[in-house]
């Protein structure tokens, strides 16, 4: 783990040669082991140890130069300071972030988080459990032809922030994550694929056999798909599909994007209806389902729970220090620091609802939306996405093949008619299934 | 920070001087020979070391002001070892002898090889004379020959000004440029010892236009490989002209109706359909995963007889060109499909070792943290004989895809592509613009439906994300006709 002493000594050493230096550095140092099981049964093992640092340096005129580097050695940091000072006069002239100061106890307590470390497993243990899971999955059903995509990774990460003003933060976390994606084919049908994932703080809590079982059952459910006429349908989005859509249109909640006119919202949108009145969205970085959460952002500001949508009304945005100043508010601890600062979500929490009722029995159920990088126009608000899902009639589910779902995100949010009673845990947040009154579905003929 | 500093590395490394990260070349020979020899003595069948230095710069303007100047400096190394059917990869930022020893010991340990026993005895690997592509092609001054940041900023601000003058209903604009300078050194236990310098540069313009409820956003980009003064000399006027024309058409475009359409796809970035739907499936990585339907199709008809396709790394200045791949093999030109018949796969070292397909100089990776994998370079469909106008005229009704967005292909060969700028074809002529179209299908089907190619091949730069990270590629094709394809849109 990176200790506070190590981080502070770097800053101290830098200041020895440049007493007037005004800078901060944030970043992470990561160690990771990953195992995959190839189709031949042999293992694909990898390990990495890498550091990523963002160094910000303010020159005598208050202009800011930012350099990203991969080393925390004093020599490399000193060279990066020189590069940053060269870049500073050429960068932004207005709305320059100020170097963060240690916050007074009255406004915010800066807490150095105790390490959240858990026992590290050997790569042999990771491999053994993954091999067992892959084997169990292959034996689950004769229609399962292979498990082309699978991996288990154990990660230990040290996050840090330090500035010449004395604000210092550090934390260490470890986690284990896995995904298992199987491929299969039923006679007379095209091949299909489906998978599942999981993440926990250690391998003991991550049940790879369960992940494999869910992946296999999901695949089997999709092996004999049907075609449906293209048209408008009542659609239920799984929690994961809804979170993926929200992430694709994250400019909705970005104060920086609003300032840049790169958002579907404007300043005037705050306090106005954005969605159906049954929708409540919060960014909740320390949600218990968020494994290994980051506890401070790139400016060293502690993360915090941020309501975004309450009863359908847009009530909050993600802020860093500069956007907060422009909106006369405080940073919400969502800063991603680079030459241009940005903001982004940590972990969504969408409140569960009163249940889907009859909607769950007759709908198009979108389990997973795909190709978000290609099928979303974030500034138009439109999307047209392939998806994996089902037609549900009288409670009976039939898989669909070659289907896309299309619509407009602003219309979608206002067309939400029901939310399931339970939330689904996804990599990006906790979210119920979301019923939308009407979306366009295209099916390959 | 360096938990391995205290470890005992054995006497075999005693007296070896610290390699100098600032100089890739002969000075690294003793260190790399020794490390590779150590790997072989420990029981690895094959070992490879990849060293990398990177110096990148990105400049961005937003609405007429410089909003970001972002330099980035990085170094790192990756070590890959093979034993039987197993292979392992370990990467580190520590470009020191201790860092490399740690990485190698990790790799050997994961392979089940006994590193400590082998440390003090045995011979080094005899590396070949250095194949220095950087020296051969006078690349050592490339970085210092690139334009100054202030010159790049001025060009981007000029571009932004042009966009504001020419593009109607402009709500916001963003222009950006990046320069990615990379130096690599590859050494392997079969004697490979090669060095190269790469330089990729790109200029990009993005506009967002709005008129009431009507919105559109579009971008254009130009890019090059190995031309240090590119950002100073490249003509940016075509970007402005294209965005002006496209935004004018697309701002009020209606959503396309979902359904089955004959399709004419424009040249340049239209080639993304072949890249995604077929190119990826010809990578030996896909054979290993059993995710390609073409694994046993060598010599067989896998596409329409009018289709011939290449993947190569030689075209001067093209974004996917490279003098050597990331496994030290010189670039080549590879005929993939000839008149519909599969002639070659895209093979890296591992693909060649495991499946017997000859290496094609296609072992590529984003950076040192990825093992090289079989990846595309400049991939394009060869020209046919008709004109683009004749292709469009041959459709009574259909969809013309002038500009494509991104796309992807899944584990079952199902693909999808978004259409950034589309027009309906009615009675053999282009009519109204349409938006929101997604092309969907399966690779094996679509390759048989590309029935005719025009005579106007052009290439376009792009980025490809896959197993070994995001790399620079070129896609290309002439205008071509697809007999029938499913278009996702509004029902």
Kindly state the percentage of chain A with pLDDT values over 90.
72
Q: Is the pLDDT of residue B220 over 50?
A: yes
Q: Measured between beta carbons, which residues in chain A are less than 8 angstroms from residue B2?
A: none
How many of the other CB atoms lie within 10 Å of CB of A335? 29
CB contact under 8 A, A445 and B260: yes
Q: What is the pTM of this model?
A: 0.88
Q: Do B93 and A193 touch (CB under 8 A)?
A: no
User: Phi and psi at residue A210, in whole multiples of 5°?
Assistant: -65, -40
Q: Report the share of chain B in percent with pLDDT over 70.
A: 94
Handedness of CA A108, A114, A118, A122 (dihedral sign): positive
Q: Is pLDDT at A70 greater than 80 in this prediction?
A: yes
Mutate: best of B98, B436, B463, B469, partner A, most A CBs <10 A:
B436
Is the per-residue pLDDT at A212 higher than 80? yes
Partner residue opposite A442 with nearest CB, options B75, B405, B491: B491
List B residues 104-163 in contact with A (Cβ-Cβ < 8 A): 106-107, 110-111, 149-150, 153
Q: How confident is the model at residue B402 (pLDDT cuts 50, 70, 90)?
A: very high
Q: Tokens in use for B234?
A: 């490249």
Select from A40, A193, A384 the Cβ nearest to the Cβ of B488. A384
Q: What is the dihedral of CA B102, B103, B104, B107, to 10 degrees?
A: 120
CA-based nearest distance A290→chain B, Å? 26
From chain B residues 392-451, the ones with a CB under 8 A of any chain A CB are: 405-408, 410-414, 416-418, 435-438, 440-442
Task: Say whether B405 and A381 touch across the interface (CB within 8 A).
Answer: no
CB A271 within 8 A of CB A308: no
pLDDT band at residue A172 using 50, 70 and 90 as cut-offs: confident
Residues of A in contact with B215 (CB under 8 A): 379-381
Separate counts of helices (H) and strands (E) for chain A: 9, 20
In B394-463, which ranges are continuous DSSP H helix?
Answer: 443-449
- Closest chain A residue by Cα to residue B90: A47
Option in A90, A183, A261 nearest B411 (CB): A183
* pLDDT, tens only, B62-102: 999 998 999 999 999 999 999 988 899 999 998 888 889 99
From chain A, the residues in CB contact with B252 under 8 A are none
CB contact (8 A) between residue A183 and residue B442? no
- Which candidate, A98, A72, A194, A184, places its Cα nearest to that of A138? A184
Comparing CA positions, the residue from B204, B279, B341 lying closest to residue B476 is: B279
A/B interface, count of CB pairs below 8 Å: 232
Q: Partners of B403 in the beta sheet? A: B421
The owner of tokens 């059917």 is B85
Chain B residues in contact with A29 (beta carbon < 8 A) = 1
Question: Quick check: A139 and A161 in contact, CB under 8 A?
Answer: no
End-to-end CA distance of chain B: 57
Q: Out of B1, B407, B490, name the one closest to residue A374 (CB).
A: B407
Partner residue facing B491 (CB), from A84, A181, A231: A231
Integer Cα distance of A408 and B196 in angstroms: 47
Inter-chain residue contact A404 with B440, CB threshold 8 Å? yes
pLDDT in tens, B422-477: 999 999 999 999 998 989 888 888 889 999 999 999 999 999 999 999 999 999 99
CA distance B270 to B231: 25
Least confident interval from A5-19, A84-98, A245-259: A5-19
Residue of B70, B74, B435 lying closest to A66 (CB–CB): B70
Question: Could you count the other beta carbons within 10 Å of the beta carbon of residue A111?
Answer: 11
Distance CA B83, CA B108 (A): 9
Instruction: List the single residue in B with minimal CA-CA distance to A158.
Output: B1
Cβ of B100: how many Cβ atoms within 10 Å? 23
Do the bridges between strand A429-443 and strand B46-62 make them parallel or antiparallel, or are there none, so unpaired? unpaired
> Cα–Cα–Cα angle for A105, A345, A382, nearest 5°?
150
**Measured between CB atoms, does A67 come within 8 Å of chain B?**
yes
| Whether pLDDT at A4 is above 80 | no
Q: Name the residue of chain B whose CA is nearest to A147's CA.
A: B289
Share of chain A above pLDDT 70, in %: 95
Q: In this complex, is the C-beta atom of A181 within 8 Å of any C-beta atom belonging to chain B?
A: yes
Look at residue B77 and give its three-state secondary structure.
strand
Helical residues (DSSP H) of B29-113, grouped into ranges: 29-41, 97-111
Once rounded to an integer, what is the mean pLDDT over residues A276-292? 96
Tokens representing A129 are 């459990």
Contact A340 B67 (CB under 8 A): yes
A153–chain B nearest CA distance, Å: 14
The 3-state DSSP class for residue A435 equals: strand
CB B45 within 8 A of CB B114: no
A237 vs B: CB within 8 A? no
Residue pointed to by tokens 């007296």: B15
DSSP of A20-62: T-EEEEEEEEEEEEEEEE-TTS-EEEEEEEEEEEEEEEE-TTS
- What is the distance between the alpha carbons of residues A208 and A197, in angstroms, rounded to a whole number? 9
Q: What is the pLDDT of residue B276?
A: 85
d(CA A74, CA B73): 14
Which pLDDT value is given to residue A199? 95
Cross-strand partners of B195? B132, B185
Short-list A353, A342, A218, CA closest to A276: A353
pLDDT tier, B259 (very low <50, low <70, confident <90, very high otherwise) = confident
pLDDT of A117 reads: 59
pLDDT at B12: 53
Residue with tokens 């599909």: A241
Q: Do residue A441 and residue B102 have CB atoms under 8 angstroms apart?
A: no
* Nearest alpha-carbon partner for B311 in B291, B339, B283, B290: B283
| CB nearest B88 (choices: A46, A51, A192) | A46
**Averaged over A115-130, what is the pLDDT?**
81
Q: Which two tokens stand for residue B94?
A: 């520590």
pLDDT digits (tens, 9 = 90+) for A384-407: 898 999 999 999 999 998 899 999
Where does residue A43 fall: left (phi above 0), alpha (psi -120 to 50 degrees), or beta otherwise? beta
pLDDT of residue A41: 86
Q: For chain B, say whether A364 makes contact (Cβ under 8 Å).
A: no
- Mean pLDDT lowest among A7-16, B119-128, B227-236, B477-486: B119-128
Q: How far apart are CA B368 and CA B90, in angstroms?
A: 9
Mean pLDDT of all residues in B215-224: 94
Grade residue B5 by pLDDT with cuts at 50, 70 and 90.
very low
- pLDDT tens readout for residues A42-69: 889 999 999 999 999 999 999 999 999 9
C-beta of residue A182 within 8 angstroms of C-beta of residue A195: yes
CB contact under 8 A, B440 and A402: yes
Contact yes or no for B491/B301 (Cβ under 8 A): no
Decide if B21 touches A, using CB distance below 8 A.
no
Q: Which of B371, B407, B411 lies closest to A148 in CB terms?
A: B411
Chain A CB contacts of B75 below 8 Å = 70-71
* B103-158 tens-digit pLDDT: 999 999 999 887 655 555 567 899 999 999 999 999 999 999 999 999 999 999 99
Helix A123-138 crosses helix A208-221 at what angle (to 10 degrees)?
30
What is residue A95's predicted lDDT score, i.e. its pLDDT?
Answer: 87
Contact B66 A92 (CB under 8 A): yes
Task: Give the separation between CA A169 and CA A304, rounded to whole angstroms.
Answer: 15
| Residue of chain B whose Cα is closest to the Cα of A444 | B486
Q: Six-digit token pair at B328?
A: 């030290």
pLDDT of residue B433: 96
Contact list in A for residue B68 (CB cut-off 8 A) is: 91-92, 338-340
Residue B443, pLDDT score: 80
A-chain CB neighbours of B172 within 8 Å are 260-262
Residue A145 clears pLDDT 90, i.e. is over it = yes
């Amino acid at each position: 783990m990176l200790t506070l002493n190590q981080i502070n000594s770097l800053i101290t050493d830098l200041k020895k040669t440049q007493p007037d230096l005004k800078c901060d550095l944030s970043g992470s140092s990561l160690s990771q082991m990953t195992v995959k099981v190839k189709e031949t049964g042999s293992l694909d093992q990898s390990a990495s140890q890498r550091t990523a640092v963002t160094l910000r340096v303010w020159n005598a005129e208050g202009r800011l130069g930012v350099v990203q580097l991969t080393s925390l050695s004093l020599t490399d940091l000193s060279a990066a300071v020189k590069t940053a000072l060269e870049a500073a006069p050429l960068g932004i002239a207005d709305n320059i972030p100020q170097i963060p100061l240690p916050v007074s106890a009255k406004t915010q307590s800066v807490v150095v988080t105790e390490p959240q470390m858990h026992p590290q497993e050997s790569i042999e243990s990771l491999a053994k459990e993954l091999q067992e899971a892959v084997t169990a999955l292959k034996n689950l059903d004769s229609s399962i032809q292979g498990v082309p995509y699978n991996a288990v990774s154990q990660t230990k990460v040290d996050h840090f922030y330090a500035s010449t003003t004395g604000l210092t933060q550090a934390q260490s976390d470890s986690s284990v994550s896995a995904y298992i994606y199987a491929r299969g084919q039923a006679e007379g049908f095209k091949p299909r694929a489906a998978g599942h994932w999981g993440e926990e703080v250690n391998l003991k809590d991550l049940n790879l056999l369960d992940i494999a079982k869910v992946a296999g059952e999901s695949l089997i459910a999709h092996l004999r798909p049907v075609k449906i006429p293209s048209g408008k349908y009542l659609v239920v989005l799984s929690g994961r599909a809804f979170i993926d859509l929200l992430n694709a249109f994250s400019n909705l909640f970005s104060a920086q994007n609003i300032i840049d006119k790169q958002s579907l919202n404007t300043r005037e949108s705050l306090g106005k209806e954005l969605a159906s009145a049954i929708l409540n969205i919060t960014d909740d970085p320390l949600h218990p389902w968020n494994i290994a959460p980051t506890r401070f952002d790139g400016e060293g500001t502690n993360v915090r729970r941020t309501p975004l949508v309450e009863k359908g009304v847009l009530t909050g945005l993600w802020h860093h220090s500069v956007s907060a100043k422009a909106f006369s508010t405080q940073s919400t601890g969502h800063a991603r620091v680079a030459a241009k600062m940005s903001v982004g979500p940590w972990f969504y929490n969408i409140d569960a609802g009163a249940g889907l009722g009859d909607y769950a029995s007759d709908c198009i159920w979108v389990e997973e939306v795909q190709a978000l990088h290609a099928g979303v126009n974030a500034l138009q608000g439109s999307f047209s996405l392939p998806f994996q899902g089902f037609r549900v009639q009288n409670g009976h589910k039939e898989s669909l093949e070659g289907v896309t779902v299309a619509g407009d995100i602003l219309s979608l949010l206002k067309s939400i008619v029901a939310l399931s009673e339970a939330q689904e845990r996804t990599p990006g947040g906790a979210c119920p299934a979301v019923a939308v009154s009407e979306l366009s579905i295209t099916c390959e003929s | 920070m360096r938990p391995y500093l205290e470890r005992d590395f054995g006497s075999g490394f005693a007296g070896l001087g610290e390699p100098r990260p600032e100089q890739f070349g002969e000075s690294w020979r003793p260190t790399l020979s020794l490390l590779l020899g150590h790997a072989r003595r420990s029981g690895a069948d094959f070992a490879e070391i990849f060293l990398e230095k990177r110096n990148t710069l990105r400049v961005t303007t937003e609405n007429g002001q410089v909003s970001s100047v972002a330099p980035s400096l990085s170094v790192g190394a990756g070590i890959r070892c093979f034993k039987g059917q197993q292979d392992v990869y370990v990467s580190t930022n520590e470009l020191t002898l201790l860092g490399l020893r740690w990485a190698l010991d990790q790799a050997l340990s994961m392979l089940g090889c006994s590193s400590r026993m082998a440390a003090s005895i045995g011979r080094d690997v005899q590396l070949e004379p250095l194949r220095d592509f950087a020296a051969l092609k006078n690349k050592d001054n490339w970085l210092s020959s690139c334009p100054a940041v202030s010159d790049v900023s001025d060009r981007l601000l000029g571009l932004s000004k042009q966009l504001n003058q020419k593009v109607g209903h402009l709500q916001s604009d963003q222009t950006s440029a990046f320069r990615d300078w990379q130096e690599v050194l590859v050494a392997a236990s079969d004697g490979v010892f090669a060095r190269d310098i790469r330089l990729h540069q790109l200029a990009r313009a993005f506009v967002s236009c709005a008129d009431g409820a009507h919105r559109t956003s579009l971008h254009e980009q130009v890019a090059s490989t190995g031309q240090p003064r590119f950002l100073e000399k490249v003509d940016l006027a075509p970007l402005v002209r294209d965005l002006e024309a496209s935004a004018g058409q697309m701002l009020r475009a209606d959503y396309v109706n979902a359904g089955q359409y004959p399709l004419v796809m424009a040249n340049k970035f239209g080639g993304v359909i072949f890249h995604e739907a077929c190119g990826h499936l010809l990578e030996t990585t896909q054979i290993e995963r059993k995710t390609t339907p073409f694994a046993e199709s060598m010599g067989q008809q896998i596409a329409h007889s009018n289709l011939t396709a290449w993947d190569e790394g030689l075209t001067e200045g093209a974004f996917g060109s490279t003098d050597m791949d990331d496994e030290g093999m010189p670039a080549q030109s590879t005929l993939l499909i000839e008149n519909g018949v599969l002639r070659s796969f895209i093979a890296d070292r591992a693909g060649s070792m495991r499946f017997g397909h000859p290496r094609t100089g296609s072992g590529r990776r984003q950076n040192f943290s990825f093992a090289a994998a079989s990846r595309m370079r400049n991939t394009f469909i060869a020209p046919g004989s008709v004109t683009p106008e004749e292709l469009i005229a041959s459709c009574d009704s259909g969809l013309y895809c002038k500009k494509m967005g991104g796309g992807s292909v899944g584990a079952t060969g199902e693909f999808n592509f978004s259409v950034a700028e589309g027009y309906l074809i009615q009675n053999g002529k282009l009519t109204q613009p349409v938006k929101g179209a997604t092309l969907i299908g399966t690779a094996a089907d679509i390759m048989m439906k590309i029935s005719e190619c025009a005579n106007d091949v052009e290439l376009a730069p792009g980025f490809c994300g896959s197993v070994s990270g995001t790399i620079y590629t070129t896609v290309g094709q002439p205008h071509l006709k697809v007999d029938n394809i499913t278009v996702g849109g509004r029902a």
